[in-house]
Every structure is written in C-alpha cells, then in structure tokens.
Amino acid sequence: MIGAGGSGKTALVNRFLTQKFSEQYIVTIGSQFAVKTVTVENFNGHSVIVKLLVWDLAGQERFDFIRSSYYKGSKGALLVYDTTRRNTWAELPKWIEETDNALGQRIPIILLANKVDLANERVITPEMGKAFVQEHGLVGYLETSALNGQNVEEAFTLLARSSIS
C-alpha cells in the first residue's frame, strides 16, 4: 500500500481484513503488516490460492528514509490517492519512481481513487485517474471507498491476480 499520508491506505487495509470502517485517523508509523489468503482465477482460468503479505507504508515525508527497505520482494502495489485532496494526486509520480528505484524494475501497480463516497468534495475526476494509468503504464484503476467497501475486495483480488502472472 503506497501513497500520500491521509489518502486512506490503512482504512482500505482494515476494510479488506475486517469488513469494518473506523472513523479514527491514526498516522501509520513506519509500516503496518497484515496477511490474508485469497483465491483468484489466474489468466488460464485455474483457481490459485495467493497469500497476500500487505505492507501498509507510512505516507508522510518524514518516513521517506525508511520505506525503501520495505519494497524488497514486492510483487505488486496498490497506489492510493484521496479524490478530495489534490496534493495526494500530485504526489503519485513520486510513489511510482520510489517503487521503481527501490526494486530496480516495475512491478504491477494498481491506482486506487479512494474516498469516492465523498462525491460532493471530489476534485480529481475518474477521467484523470484513467488517463494517469495509461500515461504511466499501470495495471489498472479502481474507484474505492473504505467507508462503504466499494471495490476494496476487488482491488486486492486484482493485485493478487496481477502478481501471479
């Protein structure tokens, strides 16, 4: 899980693991780690069991120095931005570059437009998100909400499927 602080990474992980949403915002210090097993169909139509080892990385700038050590061995990433905050959108290229540099290669990255339940506050359009995915060669784009669970399971399933190809 990568993206700017406050974009909703931890809330998405918690929704995925517990199917619940917490109103409390607690800054992730360094990283948090979670494990969940999912079954996905691979591109040949066979069911595959994938154990997701999810690293929820702190997005605040003061944690930049520690993040690179968590990228080693990554098979994919969910890149999250908050659709109501332009600054989280503006940082997206930085996250891709940081990931590429830490690994020396491009892994599958799925862009998540988070907090879409706040439609009246939205400043980043779906068209902008889809264009960003095309421009940067990312694997996919989903609109998510940790609050109501929209596309959360789908995001992790797509990540699991992308990581086994």
Letter for the amino acid at 34?
A
CATH number assigned to the domain comprising residue 153? 3.40.50.300
CA R_g for the chain: 15
Q: Is 154 helix (H, G, I), strand (E, B) or coil?
A: helix
- Residue 130 phi, psi dihedral angles, 5° rounding: -65, -40
pLDDT at 69 (0 to 100): 66
Q: How many domains does the chain have?
A: 1
pLDDT at 163 (0 to 100): 86
Crossing angle for the helix pair 92-103 and 126-136, to the nearest 10 degrees:
30
The residue ranges of the chain whose pLDDT is under 50 are 27-30, 60, 62-63
pLDDT at 111 (0 to 100): 98
pTM across the whole model = 0.86
pLDDT at 36 (0 to 100): 83
CB atoms within 10 A of CB 58: 20
Residue 24 belongs to domain spanning: 2-163
pLDDT at 165 (0 to 100): 62
The first and second tokens of residue 141, run together, are 């784009």
pLDDT at 73 (0 to 100): 84
